[in-house]
Amino acid sequence: MDAEICKNFLLVRTNFPDQLDSDGEYKFKDDGHFKKYCSGNNCSSNLEKVNAGCLYFFDEFFKDSSVFKSVANSNIDIVDYIIIWLSYMLNLKENDYNNSLNHFYTTYINNEKYKKPITGVTEYNSYKDLIDKKHDLTKVDIKDISKFYDAFKTLCEIYSAFDENTSNCTKCSDKANKFVKKYQELDGDSNNTEGTSYSKILSTLSTDYNNLKNKCSNIPTLPEVNTSQNTPKSPGQNSAQTSEVTPLSSSIGNKLIPVLSIFGAIAFFLGIGYKYSLFKSRKRSRKQHLREKLKNKEENG
């Protein structure tokens, strides 16, 4: 991340606000950067507007090899920030789809505009390929990823204030404290499960913050990422549903422990009983053998 990358996000936020208008609709303040991505240069539907903003980002950062290297610095982690923006924008407005990110993926990302080749770039076939190699959007919950938006905006504000000038580090301290506080909340979230999009995006945020801290040593240090080993929840599964599984598993485990202990004790005593029975049997056999031997001796005597 750098100030130039953040300027693109600021431009979109200025011309396509990250809040709905008074009628509860998405609204362009200036569609000059976006209308070319809509049919007939007219973004008539809400999703078309969001899609136009999304395509604008991909063109600005990954359009061809020149842009890929000079603007994005060949860093595909920028995709994480586009997904944060996309999730947040989609989450602003209620819709009829259970997971609108999945719907957006199948409706827009899975079409030719996102599948066209990136000229001069061999590592990634298309915008869709870039996305797929970072995230499985069919399994991502927009409500979870939307939580990153404030932290991302704050991080961009820090980079913009710093602007590659260490004399500006003192200007960043307040916003850095704000970012660290938000980061700690995100880090402690139950969705922070190893291998998920949530944990990957959190890692991208921490990497970009730490890159800045290497230049501004006076800003606070981030805690280590605290990913859990829990099974990732599917989109639409709420925290209550997830928490119900844990007590149930715990209850089963608690019930199994005494049962297994009883079986273990039974097996132990059966083993002792078997050995004792075997010992008595052998003892009787030896006595019988001695009696027969003495009897034979008397008869022969």
Q: What is the pLDDT of residues 202-257, one digit of tens each?
A: 999 999 999 999 999 889 999 876 666 555 554 554 443 444 434 444 444 454 44
And the tokens for 144? 């979870």
- pLDDT value at residue 55: 97
Is residue 276's pLDDT more than 60? no
Cα–Cα distance for residue pair 165/162, rounded to 1 Å:
6
Cα–Cα distance for residue pair 246/239, rounded to 1 Å:
11
Q: What is the pLDDT of residues 73-111, one digit of tens each?
A: 889 999 999 999 999 999 998 877 766 899 999 999 999
C-beta separation of 234 from 242 below 8 A: no
SS3 category, 144: helix
- pLDDT value at residue 252: 44
- The pTM for the full model equals 0.75
C-beta separation of 143 from 91 below 8 A: yes
Cα–Cα distance for residue pair 249/247, rounded to 1 Å:
5
How many other CB atoms sit within 10 Å of the CB of residue 64? Answer: 13
Q: Which residue has the higher pLDDT, 288 or 14?
A: 14
- pLDDT value at residue 50: 95
- pLDDT value at residue 186: 96
SS3 category, 71: coil
Q: What is the pLDDT of residues 14-46, one digit of tens each?
A: 999 999 999 999 999 999 999 999 988 999 899
- pLDDT value at residue 140: 86
Is residue 69's pLDDT more than 70? yes
- pLDDT value at residue 127: 97
Q: What is the CA radius of gyration of the chain?
A: 33
- pLDDT value at residue 250: 43
Segment 179-201 mean pLDDT:
93
User: What is the SS3 assignment for 202-227?
Assistant: HHHHHHHHHHHHCCCCCCCCCCCCCC
- pLDDT value at residue 191: 86
Segment 110-126 mean pLDDT:
93
Q: Which residue has the higher pLDDT, 264 or 179?
A: 179
Q: What is the pLDDT of residues 45-66, one digit of tens each?
A: 999 999 999 999 999 999 999 9
Is residue 293's pLDDT more than 80? no
| Residue 121 pLDDT class (50, 70, 90 cuts) | very high
- pLDDT value at residue 28: 95
